[in-house]
Amino acid sequence: MDGATLQAKLYGGYAKAAKRIGLPFAQYRPQAALQPALSSANGVQTLLASFNAEDMGYRHPRGYARVGWYCVADGGQLQAGDYLSGNGYTYFIAAMEPLLPILAVRCNRVLSVFRPQQQAGVGAVGYGGMTAGNEMPRLTQFPASILLGTKGEHSLVDLPGDVRSPWWAILLPNLPGGVTLRSGDLMQDDLGRRFVVSSAEQSALGWRVGAMEAET
């Protein structure tokens, strides 16, 4: 038996298991970065799927600050970057490596991304800082994982009542159209919080971003 045949049997086994234990999820495959990921235009089908806390024996719940899940579904119908949404949860497929479990990330917020534009001109020009008017949309309403990071920054004023500005760890799938993220990009979630990207790393699993919450 060769690897391709074994892979097909593995995904076929997942499909049979999903028919027994899975729940229906709407499957989305984003086509454009400036179109909401879960829009009807990106809808593919309804797919039966089950998710476990990286434990195929279903013996353990997912603990705090862990976002990785194994997806039990017909892998022949999925691609990395797909979203599965339903039953109160949304996941994106992060990796489908040969002969390994399908890795998914549970999303808890919806993000849009903007890129501030440099102001052109010399001499006496108007205000050149970041404003809503000079932000270029890069990504529109993509579900993401946003969890607290491991550090915070002291305020430059450093008054006695000041608290550290929180840092956040943000995960997104690889984005359609080859859209990239970089330091200085602005993010806004569905709660209205704004974040400034400090670091952005792209890998086969998607984007891992370190960002500081903007207070103003």
pLDDT at 214: 83
Q: What residue ranges of the chain have pLDDT lower than 70?
A: 118-133, 150-165, 215-216
pLDDT at 194: 95
Give CA torsion, residues 132, 133, 136, 140, to 10 deg. 50
In this structure, CATH architecture of domain 109-119+127-213:
Beta Barrel (2.40)
The domain ranges of the chain are 3-107, 109-119+127-213
Q: What is the pTM of this model?
A: 0.87
**Where are the alpha helices (H) located in the chain, listed in sequence order?**
3-21
Nearest alpha carbon to residue 74 among 31, 23, 29, 19: 19
Q: Copy the structure tokens of residue 164.
A: 């550290």
pLDDT at 8: 93
pLDDT at 3: 84
